Amino acid sequence: MMNITSNMQNYYGQQTSLLTSLTGQPAAPLSAFFPKKLGIVKLNNDLERLYNKESFRNVRSLIQRSFELNQAARKFTNYGLDNRLNYRVGESSSSAVTVENVRQGAEIRTHRVSVSQLAESQVNTSDSVNSTATNNFSEGINKINIQFEDGDTSSFQVKVLATDTNKQVLEKMEKSINESNTGLLAEIKIDQTNGTSFLELTSKNTGTRNSFTFSDETGNLSSNLNLNNITNQSQDSIYTANGSRFVSSSNTVYIGNGKVKLQLNATTSQETEINVNADTNSMKFGISSLVQSLNQFFKYSDFASDYLGGYASSLINKMSNESSAALSMLGVSEDENGKLSINQEEFENYFEEIENNPSKLSELVSSFNNFKGLANSISYKTEQLMTTPIQKLMGDNPYTEQKYRIQREANADKKLAYMQQQYYMMQTLMTNKGNFVSDTI
């Protein structure tokens, strides 16, 4: 193959001879139809631009596929923030204790939990008052302080008018408590039969630390309504987890080094089993996505293969070899065209074994480290592709290689097909005008 950049004149000469043999007529050199400043130099520049446009477009597309593959691979790497290998699911054997959430990296095991006492909120009720009777509380601003067991304090205030009914005063108290950051919930209870009302006050949070008492700072609402009347004493939850006893102010508790979140719903006479397992559905989805991304990546690497230098080609070849080996254990195979596909039966069987054979779980998860190694490798190599200047990916001097000359000469042939048409038109035009000349550059 000829080198177009350095031998364009010879190339033109060969094509001119070809046109002569095709037309059966003497043909002037093609350079006769192009001014010197727009001749070989311009055509060569056009070919350079054609080549660069196609090559850079294909390499840029490959870099984009590298980014997508990198994101899919990072779902399985040690340093990825969202690692599917660490995803966990939890299942409870009883509705008395339910699994709220299992964080990434939780130990895969069975926890045993029993509950002897649930945490409860303190509830106070005021004295009942005649709903429609005019109040006899202190007129003006009544401010009431609230003291919690853990040391926190809050307060609320009510403006009492002399004309307010008892029920209107309770409504003002309910509104003030609920709209202020008191840590309490207030609700008016009405006895329609007796025509009376009272106020129910409940701590928003459970546990003894959230016990509360009232005191009047101004006015006499707290004392006259007997707001410190406790109808339900606060208490903590008491439970055991894997043989150890725990006390909590909440019914939402954490076990497994804080990575398994449970909700205590009822006391139990028997232990509840909390099974923490690998989230195989998430793994399957992630692997399917990775295989799809690999196929897209290798497809575009084929498109760009004519333009890649040795550095990029080496990275891609290593990824291809590593992918085939590591994915084979999951039922992923490579066809004769290099496309990866999943054998669904083998794929499902692999993860079914993880789900149904707890005794083999550790062994299977350990063997999955082979795949984790692949993900780490892909993540690293695609980052190299994404962060390497595009000129380096294409090689320091790509035009000296045979494959680039072939590509450029193919582009030149397309250009010459157009030039052939122009040749006939210009030859006819210039002959008719007596201006047809034979010239060389």
Can you give the residue range of the structural domain that contains 131? Answer: 123-232
Q: Does any domain span residue 422?
A: no
pLDDT at 411: 57
Same domain for 163 and 297, yes or no, is no
Same domain for 256 and 358, yes or no, is no
Same domain for 199 and 272, yes or no, is no
Q: What's the whole-number mean pLDDT along residues 218-228?
A: 96
* CA–CA dist 276, 200 (Å, integer): 41
Nearest Cα to Cα of residue 220 among 279, 142, 285: 142
Specify the higher pLDDT residue, 75 or 99: 99
Residue 19: pLDDT above 70? no
Q: Does any domain span residue 49?
A: no
Residue 228: pLDDT above 80? yes
Same domain for 263 and 360, yes or no, is no
Highest mean pLDDT among 209-213, 304-308, 362-366, 405-409: 209-213
3-state secondary structure (DSSP) of residue 11: helix
Same domain for 74 and 157, yes or no, is no
Residue 222: pLDDT above 90? yes
Q: Domain ends where: 198, 232, 266? A: 232
Q: Does any domain span residue 292?
A: yes
Specify the higher pLDDT residue, 291 or 94: 94
Q: pLDDT-derived band of residue 249, with 50, 70 and 90 as boundaries?
A: very high
Q: Does any domain span residue 435?
A: no
Residue 113: pLDDT above 50? yes
CATH of the domain at 208: 2.60.40
Same domain for 169 and 251, yes or no, is no
Residue 138: pLDDT above 90? yes
Q: Does any domain span residue 241?
A: yes
Residue 176: pLDDT above 50? yes
Same domain for 378 and 366, yes or no, is yes
* CA–CA dist 3, 139 (Å, integer): 105
Q: Does any domain span residue 381?
A: yes
3-state secondary structure (DSSP) of residue 104: coil
pLDDT at 1: 34
* CA-based end-to-end distance of the chain: 23
Q: Domain ends where: 219, 249, 278? A: 278
pLDDT at 57: 74
* CA–CA dist 213, 232 (Å, integer): 13
Residue 151: pLDDT above 50? yes
Q: By mean pLDDT, which of 113-127, 259-273, 397-411 is the weakest?
A: 397-411
Instruction: Please count the residues of the chain.
Output: 441
Total H helices, total E strands in the chain: 11, 18
Surface-to-core class of residue 365, CB atoms within 10 Å of its CB (0-12 exposed, 13-18 middle, 19+ buried): middle
Same domain for 106 and 159, yes or no, is no
Specify the higher pLDDT residue, 44 or 207: 207
* CA–CA dist 245, 39 (Å, integer): 91
Residue with tokens 């047809």: 436
* CA–CA dist 171, 269 (Å, integer): 43
pLDDT at 383: 77
Q: Does any domain span residue 110?
A: yes
Same domain for 339 and 207, yes or no, is no
Q: What's the whole-number mean pLDDT along residues 108-112?
A: 93
Give one word for 243, left, alpha or beta, with left for phi > 0 and alpha for psi -120 to 50. Answer: left
pLDDT at 394: 64
Surface-to-core class of residue 128, CB atoms within 10 Å of its CB (0-12 exposed, 13-18 middle, 19+ buried): middle
Q: What is the dihedral of CA 154, 148, 245, 256, to 10 degrees?
A: 10
pLDDT digits (tens, 9 = 90+) for 301-341: 777 776 666 667 777 777 777 777 667 777 788 777 778 88
Same domain for 227 and 128, yes or no, is yes
Specify the higher pLDDT residue, 66 or 136: 136
Q: Domain ends where: 232, 266, 296? A: 232
Residue with tokens 């060969």: 14
Q: What's the whole-number mean pLDDT along residues 173-185?
A: 95
pLDDT at 34: 40
Same domain for 115 and 241, yes or no, is yes
3-state secondary structure (DSSP) of residue 337: coil
Same domain for 284 and 357, yes or no, is yes
The gap from C-alpha 431 to its chain's centroid, in whole angstroms, comes to 70
Domains: count for the chain: 3
pLDDT at 438: 42
Cβ count near 6 (within 10 Å) = 11
Q: Does any domain span residue 46?
A: no
Nearest Cα to Cα of residue 118 among 210, 236, 234, 209: 236
pLDDT at 78: 64
